[in-house]
Amino acid sequence: MSVLNKFCLKGKNALIYAPQFIYGEEIASGLSEAGAKLWFCGEDTEALRLLEDKLNSSGVSIEGVIEYHQGSEENAICLVRKVREKIGKLDIFVDNGSNGLLKGWTHTYEEIYEDLRRTQLGLMLTVKHIGALMAEQDYGSIIFISNYAALVGCDVHKYEDNLEKFDEDFSLTYGFVKGSYVNYTRQAAGYLGEHNVRCNCIAFAPMYDEESEDFSRAFIRHSHLKRMTSAEDIKAAVVFLASDASSYITGVTLPVDGGYTAK
């Protein structure tokens, strides 16, 4: 088999949770371009439909949208039931859900709890049940989308001309949630490995148009490749970890950050 065929996702079914958030559009495009059939799931079905329309207009077709309110066992079981009915064999699951986290460092306990309940409790229950489904199939690739904040802290010097923005932006929960993926990936990989289900994580750097000029300039100055993450970087990394090209890779967190965290 040609090595290029290893990256091909023809005949594979992929489900993306919360693709309406940053990186989701590129993840969907990449998986589709590589030949996978795509489904979306998430709470905000209106946002998912809007993304579906947008992608359709650029030639990416979405097979279906499944309403899924992450955060309860009952809903996770229901998701798996719908996956069986609508998709059948699920080869690829991408979690893109840890977004919209609190900004700022000082919060009430209730705010902190709600942020973590929504992201972490939901994640664990989803992976427990999707993982079980893939274990039955004896095949699957689970990909967690995190970002470079999982690997390094925030550089205060990026904000040195604007410390007020630093205080406003800096999140009490962000680093905790993003970082929790790193070893959860290893833990899930450890349990699911003997069922031929792989679990990996991608730590993306920000994209250029998501950040201010000042932030982007400071980020680029610190990175080896002197640019922010491009759409192609996102597509290629996801396809690699989704496909059989990475069939012996599990439990890793892959930085896709131009070398930002390599120094």
- Interface residue list for another protein (CB under 8 A): 72-73, 105-110, 112-113, 116-117, 120-121, 123-125, 127-128, 131, 149-156, 170-184, 186-187, 189-191, 251
Count helices and strands (H / E) in the chain. Answer: 10, 7
Contacts of 23 by beta carbon, 8 Å cutoff, 6+ apart: 96, 145, 204, 207, 234
Nearer to another protein, 172 or 236 (CB): 172
Query: Nearest approach, Cβ of 118 to another protein (angstroms)?
Result: 10
Nearer to another protein, 199 or 237 (CB): 199
Nearer to another protein, 131 or 258 (CB): 131
Query: Nearest approach, Cβ of 117 to another protein (angstroms)?
Result: 6
Residue 136 corresponds to which amino acid? E
Nearer to another protein, 146 or 246 (CB): 146
Maximum distance among all alpha carbons in the chain? 56
Q: How many CA atoms lie within 13 A of 38 on its CB side?
A: 29
Nearer to another protein, 7 or 170 (CB): 170
Query: Nearest approach, Cβ of 187 to another protein (angstroms)?
Result: 4
Three-state DSSP class for residue 14? strand
Nearer to another protein, 57 or 108 (CB): 108
Nearer to another protein, 33 or 105 (CB): 105
What is the strand order of the sheet 13-17 is part of?
Answer: 64-67, 37-42, 13-17, 92-95, 140-147, 197-204, 253-256
Query: Nearest approach, Cβ of 93 to another protein (angstroms)?
Result: 16
Query: Nearest approach, Cβ of 167 to another protein (angstroms)?
Result: 9
Residue 49 corresponds to which amino acid? R
**Interior angle at CA 98, CA 96 and CA 102, nearest 5:** 150
Q: Burial, 235: exposed, middle or buried (Cβ in 10 Å; 0-12, 13-18, 19+)?
A: buried
Query: Nearest approach, Cβ of 217 to another protein (angstroms)?
Result: 19
Query: Nearest approach, Cβ of 241 to another protein (angstroms)?
Result: 17
What span, in angstroms and rounded, lies between the C-alpha atoms of 25 and 123? 20
What span, in angstroms and rounded, lies between the C-alpha atoms of 52 and 54? 5
Contacts of 85 by beta carbon, 8 Å cutoff, 6+ apart: none
